[in-house]
Structure 1
């Protein structure tokens, strides 16, 4: 394994996910699917991965379904399963390590079109991921199914359960399933088969608090959350900055997506600035922690959350040292009351009705 420093890795909080013990902050690799986030050479990307491992970030996520806007009119109804580049680069990096088993790779099988999930189809999907990563098993396979009206997702998951029993998959997770279907799936497959559900969760988007939290507790499922920093807007760099142009070419796809949510679903830029000022004041009380640290901690303080996935543009923009500062403390009652005072002025609690439950923006 890449040599690690105990002084840094000792600070990393961990939790058990199926057969793995993993950190509570994961490195998101979805930027490798597009140059729109900025690009770097493969060698720089691998060095970035090594830096993260040295800091104790031993879990990598190949990406999420990250379209430019949550607007139902703008989200495509079909798309490719588009994590191949991340899988290939991650696999090469993992195989280069002396102890590759200590690194966990989470990838996805996303079904966007109507599909009959025969055993051959499901097996081919799993084998494709193993071939890309050069492995004989998939650490965590996260499953997304776009059309709830087609309940073949249960058949697909039963076959994935069989393939797990055969040793081709170490753990099975869901991606962007709502509370009702997550409960249905976990009840149908049995306790412990589904270990996680990857959904959006942040101070801005609090939908998992409405139903999903109870389902997670009932079935022992942990959330792997993305969007926790709202595409980077929950950060000191945006404090006292003017409202950016949503259609500016200077924004990344992720930034456009989350700015759209902030301005159209959650509230407005003025209220968002109030939130940033509140988080800044809380950070100052906690020995000068960053806004991003406080926003991350707010999510991690929920017991149904396993890990926050932080997108890193490896070789371009990454912050493993600052992210570690989100560990080792919890927010106080005063901290949470001040945050809630701002959130009560927003539409955050009604996003679940305006957009729908977790993952609805992708359907």
Structure 2
């Protein structure tokens, strides 16, 4: 296997006008002290280490993420070499028709906070599907893209039905959809993958490591208490998914052991690498967004080992032997399509 530190091994894909890596750095853990805190100087140093390692795309906007990332990118010798994906989320029901001024104001706020001339990738989330003004919003975003305020438009947690509706109405506008996808949560394979393949939309996946549970450190560990205070918000969320929706902690242990056995066959890679590679090997997936506890803990070099890693048929069969005994394939029916858990 080629060295993951060799830029020649870094996998990329085309996202609109940008050529981007297949591993992105997630910024959502800057949203709360619950993930740990660090001085901004340490956060910027961690960002610089990621860029040096080949992470040239960063994503998310919660809390101070846009501000810190914008300041960091502006300080680089070549700021344009690093891509910033942010979001515009409409959570509350509108009190009247959506106006262009509201959409443009949201976009210009992203531009100002990120210290840039345009938004590289604006990922759009709309909470209430019963209000079809999301179509109006996307029509306005298409105009703003033509005017140079947005480089690319993406979706966030849109289901298969609405993604198909949007891409049929606005062909070529949407380049991506950010959704959960992991060995535990495979709902994208029920419908969204087909829709995105049909329209040439790439998935940017989060939750791929289940808040860090897909790692060696959890092998042989008793099921944690979600209320003991030792878990961060992501871990509490994914523990609930693992033990209540997907299967049980005991079955999850079987999955971890299988992943460890596979990782040892490949030599020098981790359980995390195997779990990430499994997701990346689905053609509809553009990139995996890896959440980072900026300035607290980070694994940029280890995560990069996924590049050049090739799972065998035996590897896949051993993984499937565990997944087939879970309720993972039924999550589409029990939870709903991607994003349903937030609505």
TM-score by shorter chain over 0.5: yes
Which of 49, 67, 86 is the equivalent residue of 1:107?
86
* Partner secondary structure for residue 296 of structure 1: helix
Structure 2 match to 1:118: 99
Structure 2 match to 1:50: 48
Q: Equivalents in 2 of 1:92, 1:248: separation in Å?
A: 36
Structure 2 match to 1:290: 270
Deviation per residue, 1:298-339 (Å, 9 max, x gap): 000000000000001111011000001111122111111111
Structure 2 match to 1:67: none
Deviation per residue, 1:147-203 (Å, 9 max, x gap): 01111100001100100000000000000000110010000111x210000000000
Deviation per residue, 1:91-145 (Å, 9 max, x gap): 0011111111110000000000112321000001001111111211001000000
Which of 135, 152, 163 is the equivalent residue of 1:154?
135
* Partner secondary structure for residue 25 of structure 2: strand
Structure 1 match to 2:113: 132
Deviation per residue, 1:49-95 (Å, 9 max, x gap): 100000110000025xxxxxxxxxxxxxxxxxxx2400000000111
Is residue 328 of structure 2 the alignment partner of residue 361 of structure 1? Answer: no
TM-score (norm 2): 0.97
TM-score (norm 1): 0.92
Structure 2 match to 1:143: 124
Q: Equivalents in 2 of 1:118, 1:330: separation in Å?
A: 49
Structure 1: 5+ residue stretches without partners: 64-82
* Partner secondary structure for residue 182 of structure 2: coil
- The CA deviation at 1:7 is 4.6
Contact 2:5–2:301 (CA<8 Å) still a contact in 1? no
Structure 2 match to 1:328: 308
- 1:294-305 to structure 2, matched below 5 A, reads 294-305=274-285
* Partner secondary structure for residue 325 of structure 1: helix
Is residue 85 of structure 2 the alignment partner of residue 87 of structure 1? Answer: no
Q: Equivalents in 2 of 1:222, 1:201: separation in Å?
A: 13
Seen in structure 2, the aligned counterparts of structure 1 residues 312 and 97 have a Cα distance that, compared at 3 Å, is: same
Deviation per residue, 1:19-56 (Å, 9 max, x gap): 11111000001011101000111000001010000011
Contact 1:142–1:175 (CA<8 Å) still a contact in 2? yes
Q: Equivalents in 2 of 1:84, 1:211: separation in Å?
A: 32
Q: Equivalents in 1 of 2:89, 2:174: separation in Å?
A: 16
What is the aligned length? 339
Structure 2 match to 1:96: 75
Structure 2 match to 1:314: 294
Is residue 162 of structure 2 the alignment partner of residue 174 of structure 1? Answer: no
Structure 2: 5+ residue stretches without partners: none
Stretch deviating more after TM superposition (112-121 or 249-258): 112-121
Contact 2:118–2:149 (CA<8 Å) still a contact in 1? yes
- The CA deviation at 1:16 is 0.7
Structure 2 match to 1:273: 253
Seen in structure 2, the aligned counterparts of structure 1 residues 84 and 253 have a Cα distance that, compared at 3 Å, is: closer
- What is the root-mean-square deviation of aligned Cα atoms in Å? 1.2
- 1:189-228 to structure 2, matched below 5 A, reads 189-190=170-171, 192-228=172-208
Q: Equivalents in 1 of 2:5, 2:274: separation in Å?
A: 22
Deviation per residue, 1:181-231 (Å, 9 max, x gap): 0010000111x2100000000000000001111111100000000000000
Contact 1:108–1:141 (CA<8 Å) still a contact in 2? yes
* Partner secondary structure for residue 306 of structure 2: coil
Structure 2 match to 1:184: 165
Structure 2 match to 1:72: none
